[in-house]
A and B are shown apart, each in its own frame.
Chain A
Amino acid sequence: MWRLVREALAVTAKDLKAEFRTRVALNSLGLFALTTLAAVSYTIGPYRLHEDDRPFLLSTLLWIVLFFASMAGLDRSFVKEEESHTAPLLRLSAAPHAVWLGKLLYNVVLLAMLMTVLVPLYGVLMGFRPQLMVSFVAILALGGFALAATTTIVAAIISRAMTRGALFSVLSLPLLLPLLIFVIQGTTGSVTGDTETVSNALRAVASFGGIMTVVSALLFPAVWND
């Protein structure tokens, strides 16, 4: 098992090193998120929403920005391997589960970096202040992990298809819609201070993430070894 973890961390390190050379995914993620945030902040800003509407509208907009930024950048982990023809070498170098885990961790790191920049900026520009800060961070963490788990397996699937870019969004978004509903509810709850909503949402997000992780771990070798 430790060998699997070591191989996975090696795959993650390789991907992160390659990513920092070209910064393609980071630029896609970051610029999409910042541009969307700028547009939202300019048109809505901290004053234009009615006080009662602010919790759920601001939560919805935050997660929409995060989700669509993920669609812009999280497929790079596998598409890059196919485009640069390094996939066969990776198949020879590492076990399939190590590749899957490594790519999953890479997506988690990318998403964590995006959230670290975007969420405080969103708070500043939109006047977004959750009352239950710990719960909000927990939702970000669990929701981000579930998002990364789903997008990793879908990226693996579409990297072997022809029309990759559009297909990634088409396949991921329907699968991610239940998650989107849960995280928006949880974030709204953390803004209003409703602990029951937050705990229900956290349970739902954790189970969704858990199921997706287990199923994609089981299915990944079939996709990778094809």
Chain B
Amino acid sequence: MKIGDILKWILLVWMVAVIVASFFYVHPAEGFIGESSRIVFFHVPTAWVSVLAFLISCITSVMYLRRRDPIDDVRASVSAGLGLLFCFLATVTGAVFARIMWNAYWNWDPRQTSITILLLIYAAYFALRGAIADPERRATLSAVYAILAFVTVPFLVFVVPRIYWSLHPDTIINTRGANEFDSRYTQVLMASLAGFTGLFVWLYTVGSRVEAIRLRRRQEVL
């Protein structure tokens, strides 16, 4: 058994443990309706992973512009796709929480607005990729756009939601530097963050390998 296979099985066990822990190990937090506080173990990691994925997309785009290796373009597009997926999941989990807490899935709260803009920006990335036939030009232009798009991410994820008053609960990165959670919550949240990051790394590795094989086959045909 290779190390990759062992890690995959560890990831499976870890994620099962996280899911079980989020329902049975922690108690519902104060100030939240019913069991809704448990969503933090899925909402926060998906949001974190999407920012991580967009960062990797930006870094691999910079690398592509420097060394013009097609594999960097492959990695950038795979990462952007995963970022979009996790961003969508973060939006949906947030909307479910909003329905429970404030009786409306969507009310254009500043955080909801900024995550929608983020989704649109990265959906436009794929629209751009679809509109260019030449592979090298597609790689260059989408690398430029991915870098431009990532410049807006800190604005949208960290700045805009803090300028305007929002219904969103206090985040981990807050002005008081305080951790409001009890220790069980912190443990499960950290474990969930690690698990989701591992999940992203796995999806990213597999996706990059598949796309790299597709790229090689296309080049062989030519």
Contacts and interface: CB of A to CB of B under 8 A. Distances in A.
Given A161-B131, A212-B151, A222-B65, A174 B117 contact: yes
B133 A162 contact: yes
Contacts of A173: 120
B148 A153 contact: yes
Nearest to B138: A161
Interface string B139-165: 011011101110110011000100100
Interface stretch (B18-26, B77-85, B121-129, B203-211): B121-129
A174 B148 contact: no
What band does the interface of chain A fall in when counting residues whose beta carbon is under 8 Å from B? 20 to 34
B216 interface: no
A175 B113 CA distance: 13
A160 interface: yes
Contact residues of B: prevailing secondary structure: helix
B132 interface: yes
A226 B140 contact: yes
Contacts of B151: 211-212, 215
B203 to A, nearest CB: 24
A200 B131 contact: no
B152 A161 contact: no
Contact residues of A: prevailing secondary structure: helix
Contacts of B168: none
Given A161-B132, A171-B128, A178-B160, A222 B145 contact: no
Interface in A168-193: 170-171, 173-175, 177-178, 181
Nearest to B119: A174
Interface of A: 153, 157-158, 160-163, 167, 170-171, 173-175, 177-178, 181, 200, 204, 208, 211-212, 215-216, 219, 222-223, 226
Interface of B: 65, 113-114, 117, 120-121, 123-124, 127-128, 131-133, 136-137, 140-141, 143-145, 147-149, 151-152, 155-156, 160, 163
Given A162-B132, A167-B131, A223-B140, 14 more contacts: A157-B141, A157-B145, A160-B132, A161-B132, A162-B133, A170-B128, A212-B148, A212-B151, A215-B147, A215-B148, A216-B148, A219-B147, A222-B65, A226-B137
